[in-house]
């Protein structure tokens, strides 16, 4: 186990365990261009990024953070231990030594959260004594049969409330047409009273073949959408299974999320390709 009580194996701790504070401090060490010490460019090269990709990162406000996000998204071989090994190989033991206490603390919190998620939630006898208790992670959607096969979906729709009108259009175009796809829309399909994060993880990982991410300026400010997107990416590093499909349906004023930059986008805002939008999306969601 990566988070065994005796000793934590950093090679098995995913990069997502490192919070933004540690990543920003890494940037303080690596972003400045050094003539002697290895900087973020050397780290990006060690991670496998090519010359053109590294040049594109130069325009980023914090290239170190951007490189870490993209490395985490595109590779299956990312871990805290791997990052520390790379820094040591680049003779940046100064960074490893200075940030080790902060990294250890992040890893400790990550392992604690894993243990909490693995523990069954506490039940209050007075609340559920009148009805049979539903087993954890069954009977969570409207059409679920707690005694039978759980309800399955073609795609989980990741969206924020301000984009719900487009989600309605998606339902009309994909469910109520010849495509006959089955979408998981949280506000419509999930029963109230369950832990949001637990149920969301269950639906994305085990109940839905794909996930459609409705990208907008409001999406960028949504903690729920951020969790859902990163969780789905962790299930398919490098998009090998085409599990996650970003969709843009209206113009944006904010930058497109860098963590999704390597994925093919379904863009509804381009008039020249709008006629093909629903067909392309439906075909992608119909894949086995």
28-83: per-residue pLDDT in tens? 999 987 667 889 999 999 999 898 888 888 888 889 988 898 888 877 778 899 99
Q: 153-286 falls under which CATH superfamily?
A: Toll/interleukin-1 receptor homology (TIR) domain (3.40.50.10140)
Predicted pLDDT at 10: 87
Predicted pLDDT at 118: 62
Average pLDDT, the chain: 85
d(C-alpha 224, C-alpha 288), whole Å: 27
pLDDT of 5 higher than 80: no
CA-nearest of 218, 214, 223 to 169 is 214
CA-nearest of 139, 26, 144, 173 to 90 is 26
Q: Kindly give, in sequence order, each residue whose CB lies less than 8 Å from that of residue 154, ignoring residues fewer than 6 positions away.
A: 181, 182, 183, 208, 209, 210, 285, 286
Predicted pLDDT at 168: 95
d(C-alpha 95, C-alpha 83), whole Å: 11
d(C-alpha 74, C-alpha 66), whole Å: 12
d(C-alpha 49, C-alpha 42), whole Å: 10
CA angle 30, 7, 102 (to 5 degrees): 30
Tally the C-alpha atoms within 13 A of residue 196's C-alpha that lie toward its C-beta.
Answer: 7
Predicted pLDDT at 134: 39
**240-253: average pLDDT:** 86
| Domain ranges within the chain, ordered by starting residue | 10-118, 153-286
CATH fold, domain 10-118, is Death Domain, Fas (1.10.533)
pLDDT of 161 higher than 60: yes
pLDDT > 90 fraction of the chain, expressed in percent and rounded: 49
Predicted pLDDT at 78: 86
108-135: per-residue pLDDT in tens? 888 887 777 666 555 544 444 343 333 4
pLDDT of 136 higher than 50: no
């Amino acid at each position: 186990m990566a988070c065994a009580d005796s000793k934590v194996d950093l090679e098995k701790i995913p990069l997502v365990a490192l919070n933004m504070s540690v990543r920003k401090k890494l940037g303080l060490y690596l972003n400045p261009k050094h003539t002697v010490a290895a900087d973020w460019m050397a780290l990006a090269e060690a991670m496998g990024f090519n010359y053109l990709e590294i040049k594109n990162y130069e325009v980023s406000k914090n290239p170190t953070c951007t490189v870490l996000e993209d490395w985490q998204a595109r590779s299956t071989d990312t871990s805290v231990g791997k990052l520390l090994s790379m820094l040591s190989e680049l003779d940046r033991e100064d960074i490893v030594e200075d940030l080790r206490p902060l990294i250890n603390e992040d890893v400790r919190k990550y392992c604690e959260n894993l243990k909490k998620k693995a523990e069954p939630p506490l039940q209050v006898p007075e609340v559920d004594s009148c009805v049979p208790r539903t087993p954890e992670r069954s009977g969570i959607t409207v059409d679920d049969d707690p005694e039978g096969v759980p309800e399955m979906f073609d795609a989980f729709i990741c969206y924020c409330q301000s984009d719900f009108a487009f989600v309605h259009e998606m339902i009309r175009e994909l469910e109520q047409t010849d495509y006959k796809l089955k979408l998981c829309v949280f506000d419509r399909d999930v029963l109230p009273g369950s832990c949001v994060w637990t149920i969301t993880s269950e639906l994305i990982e085990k109940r839905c073949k794909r996930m459609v991410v409705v990208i907008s300026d409001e999406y960028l400010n949504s903690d729920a959408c951020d969790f859902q997107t990163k969780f789905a990416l962790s299930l398919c590093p490098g998009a090998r299974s085409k599990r996650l499909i970003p969709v843009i349906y209206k113009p944006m004023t904010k930058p497109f999320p860098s963590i999704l930059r390597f994925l093919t986008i379904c863009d509804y805002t381009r008039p020249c390709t709008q006629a093909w939008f629903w067909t392309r999306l439906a075909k992608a969601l119909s894949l086995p």
